Structure 1
């Protein structure tokens, strides 16, 4: 995979696979999923 996607400025970060929101840290992504998508157990990160 290419690490320089023109569609995304976030190279160091995580993206919620459910709604597509970007997060800088895995903790903030996990907190978002726990809050917004409680039915999702674990995020998939590349």
Structure 2
């Protein structure tokens, strides 16, 4: 089964570090939404 999650309220300046940490733990960033200085990740795990 595939699992999806949403991580929101992340500052754009921290987004690279957050994405790297998620990927190190087996998550794949499927979508990155941006609005002003904030972003949201849609991630999945298979």
TM surpasses 0.5: no
**Highest RCO, 1 vs 2 (Cα 8 Å, sep ≥ 6):** 2
TM-score, length of structure 2 as denominator length: 0.32
Flag the structure with higher helix content: 2
Name which one, 1 or 2, has greater alpha-carbon Rg.
1
* Higher percent of residues as strand: 2
